[in-house]
Amino acid sequence: MAGRYFDLFEDVYIPDRWHLLDQPVDEQGQELRTWLFRRGEPVHIEGRIRIPIYIPGKALDFSFMAGVPIPVVHARVATIFAELAPGDVQLIPVEVDGQSEPYVLLNITRVVKCIDDETSDEVRHWKPEHGRPEKVGQYQSVIGMRIDPSKVGDAQVFRTWGWSGTIIVSEAIKNALERMGVTGPKFTEVTGPSAISEEERTYSRKCRELYESADTARDTVWRSLGTLDKEAITPIAMSSSWPGRRELWRVIHRESGRTLLVTHGLSDPFITRLEPSVGFGLELAVETNQPLESIEASWPFMLLERVAAEVAAHERVRERLKAGLFSMEVSGEGMPESLVTSEGRVAVLLGVQSRTLPGHFSTPFGDVRLVTVKALLPTELAYLLEHGAKGQAELARRFVESGEEHLSQVRQRAVV
């Protein structure tokens, strides 16, 4: 009879607990690369490892390093793994700042290919069209994981192949940790029937197929415009006003040090209808030639985020965008002073044509308009308000004439 297995993770809600652990360092004070301990292989480290504490507090028997699934455990906890899973772990002594008690870094050295795609709530795989050839076949995401225990063999603790952020332990390990009263770990069973019904699974699969088709088509376009940043992608936010109920963004590095930020979801299919479509039929783009240290905290991203919120919420705005140039104002909080009006707002002109960006692009579900977002100086807004639609057209013409076109930057001179 196949055994029971559990996802092992840390309990982050223990009151007044410490929070390990920042980047480990070696005896020379050099930071160690944490990915070494996520490969499911033994590592060779010279000398002693030191683990700094990120937030002081109540010491725990079991913790992850700075939220990364690399366990640091009290030496007495390590004895459980040494006794029950000697072939699955490497025990590396470490020094935890401020602690006289011995601790051990638990390096999981067993990897098992056992995720059950059919009974897990939802799985997504990396495919060639995602542009990450080194990850093809591995898991892009796993929700509601279930494993096939018949594929585990004699492993007592292991990482799952293709989804290395998960640590799975046997029921024997779980029971031993609970009997000892170990502080810090939590367990979620990954064997047994799924928590969702077959109808829910079918719905999720159809949603995923629609999402993947839209994502792949858009990413193909983004890659044609520059280098798609694989790291600087903000987390998905859920939003009832976006067609697919998810807010996504992409970052593209272009020639001459330019950075292009785009919405990646306003052309999602309407997920409530569960049928192919291009959603609102548009995506927004902000491009700047200024260096951005943190994309998510940058003013161009905040500008794009605020404009996107207005576009998603108001059909009137979307209809005007489809007709041509359109101007609007959004909150200027946190924006460069040179762009903020006396009323605390920032104005933008949407739909300025670009010689380097397409006005439209094709997807399997239909054509999508790419709408540029151009930040305006207060004097340019005043000109626009005075001259109306003719002012919009004249501003757009002057931007093209100046060579700026759709580029957004903190400029000191207005074009009017």
Could you give the 3-state DSSP secondary structure of residue 106? strand
| Residue of 164, 168, 182, 3 whose CA lies nearest to 78 | 182
| Every domain of the chain and the residues it spans | 1-196, 217-402
Q: What is the C-alpha separation between 218 and 233, in angstroms, rounded?
A: 14
Are 244 and 268 a contacting pair, CB within 8 Å? yes
Are 232 and 206 a contacting pair, CB within 8 Å? no
Pairing of strands 5-10, 185-189: antiparallel
Q: Determine whether 184 is exposed, middle or buried from the number of CB atoms within 10 Å of its CB (0-12, 13-18, 19+).
A: buried
Could you give the 3-state DSSP secondary structure of residue 178? helix
| Residue of 192, 187, 296 whose CA lies nearest to 234 | 296
Q: Is 99 left (phi over 0), alpha (psi -120 to 50) or beta?
A: beta
pLDDT at 297: 84
Are 47 and 95 a contacting pair, CB within 8 Å? no
| Residue of 187, 208, 186, 185 whose CA lies nearest to 121 | 208
pLDDT at 1: 47
pLDDT at 269: 95
Query: Which regions in the chain score pLDDT beneath 70?
Result: 1-2, 21-22, 67, 231-237
pLDDT at 309: 95
Q: Whole-model pTM?
A: 0.64
